[in-house]
A = this chain, B = another copy of it.
Amino acid sequence: MDQVKDKKILLVEDEPELLRMLETILKRDGFHQVFVAPTVSEALSLTAKCRPDAAVLDVMLPDGDGFTLLGEIKKVRDIPILFLTARGEAEDKILGLGLGADDYIVKPFHPREFTLRLSAVLKRTYASAMKNEMPVMTLPACVIDLGKAEVTKGEETFLLTAKEHAILTALCRNANRVVTTDTLCQCAWGDDSYGYENTLMVHIRHIREKIEINPSDPAALITVKGLGYKLVV
């Protein structure tokens, strides 16, 4: 459960070829929550919508430069920021002056160096926060973050309610294994949980609405008739 790889990365780069390459590298090295934007304006709206945990910015962008974008992002979210730059291109500006950049990487770069620097920055920033052991589950359709009590599906994130959180926690802890209805009820309502089977069903539906692509044709939260449910990851 490498928490670093579960962080949401915002990639801002206008050159399509380089963008595709960066995305491929990230995905290959295990980052599965990558959001991309080719312009400053799109980057800002994405930041508001997806709440990334770190951003990688090219210095040169079609509708502005990375420095001002950094300022805008930092105003909204205090996340670590990594710059992409050509050799000699304002290197001292980036790290030296207090612009707020956390690191920068010089083009052309070794693919691994990219993810290494990103991981290092994330580790520094979130080291203390990552001690907490609430798991992050990655499904094909979404990411379930029990610590944040939220699930991110595509570009929207939903908050989990108390019951949903309790039920999903039980399912995540037993990922890929069937959890009986009784067990789930106990997790959500305590020992005296008889009579909540119907209510459980409603909550299952609500959870499916948040984690499934098509809630009526579940692919992750599978019901096993007569037994209970299982979360397939």
Contacts and interface: CB of A to CB of B under 8 A. Distances in A.
Interface of A: 51, 74-79, 87-88, 91-92, 94-96, 98, 103, 106, 110, 112-113, 116-117, 119-120, 123-124, 128-129, 132, 134, 137-140, 147-149, 159-163, 165, 173-178, 222, 224-227, 230, 232-233
Contact of A178 (B95, B138, B147, B173): B147
A105 B84 CA distance: 16
Given A96-B116, A112-B91, A140 B75 contact: yes
Identical copies of this chain, number? 2
Given A51-B232, A95-B120, 4 more contacts: A91-B116, A95-B117, A106-B113, A129-B173
B117 A159 contact: no
Contact of A148 (B79, B92, B120, B230): B230
B103 A176 contact: no
Contacts of A148: 176-178, 230
Nearest to A228: B149
9 contacts: A51-B232, A78-B233, A79-B233, A91-B110, A91-B113, A92-B112, A94-B116, A103-B103, A162-B225
Nearest to A115: B96
A173 B230 CA distance: 23
A110 B140 CA distance: 35
Contact of A132 (B92, B113, B161, B177): B177
A117 to B, nearest CB: 7
Nearest to A134: B177
